[in-house]
């Protein structure tokens, strides 16, 4: 090897050493970066940061809107042409399928990590699971036993219930501009949808009983994700079993008999399964929207879906909803646009403040000296 050393000389040997050292440092930097990314995905804070980064308010609300329209059409087919008139049982199938899918995600290590148990007491998760079963179950039962107009009136009542509840529980206030926009939205939706107010004593009782669980459900989904680093999927995994249990308990009281004697042929079962898959995406997208915005914004999004379906039928299918109803829907959509704009600005500002920051050490390139190589210096950079 003497002739190689003689050929390369002192500077040649120094150059090879420097290249080998640079390659080793680059390999170590790559390993550190890979480890940082893995830790980012396998920690509650990292998973929450990734959800905020890739699923902001606009993406979450658009996802929820599209899935909601799809499940409305599917459930109309299931409960109409298929004749599956068991709203609690259908809800139970939805949550059971969601639980199975979440278990598959868990087995494949695709489920985000939950925060430490000490950050969220089990009583909060249990309460959310119970409230969710009543909110979804009573909503479907209310729709079955009430006219569409009465059902819409109770949905409108959820908005002021959320505002009052958040003020009482958390001293949370909203601006006068948002209050005015919400008033315009509620008035427009009332004019557009409340065309018949047929009264049914049992249906009215169910509707009134549904208002508070619905409001509390939305508030808890939003608050737990924002304050305790829960992601939508992780929170679904913890609460869905509780919801399934209480839906089973509600079935004998609110569903008519005959569910087991239903004709479970291939066509009917396929339609119900598609509805259940959409139900999983609806629950996921709804949780994402609540985590990215607020409980009130999610209610406004639901009212927007109603108005969009009405206006779409009028523009595309020539359905005659009446001039007054169309004017009410247009007014409501204008109010929703103003409220959504105000809400998105507020949510984006708070999200930027809440994003946790992580320090990652990135090696500084080496600088040459006459006799060799200087030692490395690490520069700490902030990665959002």
pLDDT tens string 111-161: 888 887 777 888 899 999 999 999 988 888 887 777 766 777 788 888 888
The phi and psi torsions of 85 (rounded to 5 degrees) equal: -95, 55
Q: What is the rounded average pLDDT of the residues 264-279?
A: 93
Q: What is the mean pLDDT of residues 219-234?
A: 88
If you average pLDDT over residues 36-63, what whole number do you get?
A: 73
The confidence band for 357, taking pLDDT boundaries of 50, 70 and 90, is very low
Q: How confident is the model at residue 362 (pLDDT cuts 50, 70, 90)?
A: very low
Instruction: Give me the pLDDT at residue 340, please.
Output: 73
**C-alpha pair distances (Å), 24 with each of 20, 294, 369, 378, 381:** 6, 48, 19, 15, 21
Mean pLDDT of 102-107: 93
Mean pLDDT along residues 358-366:
46
Phi, psi (rounded to 5 degrees) for 146: -120, 160
The per-residue pLDDT for 374 is 39
CA distance 231 to 126: 17
Pairwise pLDDT comparison (94 vs 146), residue with the higher score: 94
The predicted pLDDT at position 126 comes to: 94
Distance, in Å, from the CA atom of 148 to the CA atom of 198, rounded to the nearest integer, reads 9
pLDDT, position 326: 82
Q: Does the pLDDT value for residue 96 go beyond 90?
A: yes
Query: Per residue in 161-176, pLDDT tens?
Result: 898 888 888 888 888 8
């Amino acid at each position: 090897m003497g002739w190689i050393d003689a050929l390369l000389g002192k500077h040649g040997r120094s150059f090879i050493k420097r290249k080998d050292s640079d390659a080793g440092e680059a390999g170590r930097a790559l390993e550190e970066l890979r480890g940082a990314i893995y830790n980012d995905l396998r920690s509650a804070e990292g998973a929450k940061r990734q959800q905020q980064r890739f699923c902001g308010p606009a993406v979450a609300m658009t996802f929820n809107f599209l899935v909601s329209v799809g499940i409305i059409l599917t459930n109309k087919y299931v409960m109409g042409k298929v004749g599956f008139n068991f709203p609690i049982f259908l809800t139970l199938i939805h949550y059971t399928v969601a639980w199975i899918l979440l278990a598959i995600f868990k087995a494949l290590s695709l489920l985000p990590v939950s925060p430490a148990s000490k950050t969220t007491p089990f009583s909060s998760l249990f309460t959310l699971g119970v409230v969710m079963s009543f909110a979804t179950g009573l909503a479907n039962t209310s729709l079955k036993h009430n006219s569409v107009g009465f059902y819409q009136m109770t949905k409108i009542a959820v908005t002021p219930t959320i505002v009052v509840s958040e003020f009482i529980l958390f001293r949370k206030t909203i601006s006068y501009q948002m209050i005015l926009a919400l008033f315009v939205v509620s008035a427009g939706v009332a004019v557009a949808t409340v065309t018949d107010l047929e009264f049914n004593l049992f249906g009215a009782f169910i509707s009134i009983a549904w208002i508070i669980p619905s409001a509390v459900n939305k508030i808890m989904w939003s608050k737990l994700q924002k304050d305790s680093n829960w992601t939508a999927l992780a929170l679904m995994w913890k609460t869905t079993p509780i919801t399934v249990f209480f839906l089973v308990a509600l079935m004998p009281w609110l569903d008519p008999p005959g569910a087991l004697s239903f004709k479970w042929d291939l066509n009917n079962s396929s339609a119900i399964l598609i509805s259940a898959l959409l139900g999983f995406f609806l629950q996921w997208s709804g949780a994402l929207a609540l985590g990215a915005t607020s409980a009130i914004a999610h209610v406004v999004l639901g009212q927007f879906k109603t108005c969009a379906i009405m206006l779409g039928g009028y523009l595309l299918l020539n359905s005659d909803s009446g001039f007054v109803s169309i004017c009410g829907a247009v007014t409501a959509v204008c109010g929703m646009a103003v409220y959504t704009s105000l809400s998105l600005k507020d949510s984006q500002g708070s999200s930027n403040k809440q994003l946790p920051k992580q320090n990652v050490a990135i090696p500084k390139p080496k600088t040459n000296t006459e006799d060799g190589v200087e030692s490395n210096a690490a520069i700490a950079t902030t990665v959002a």
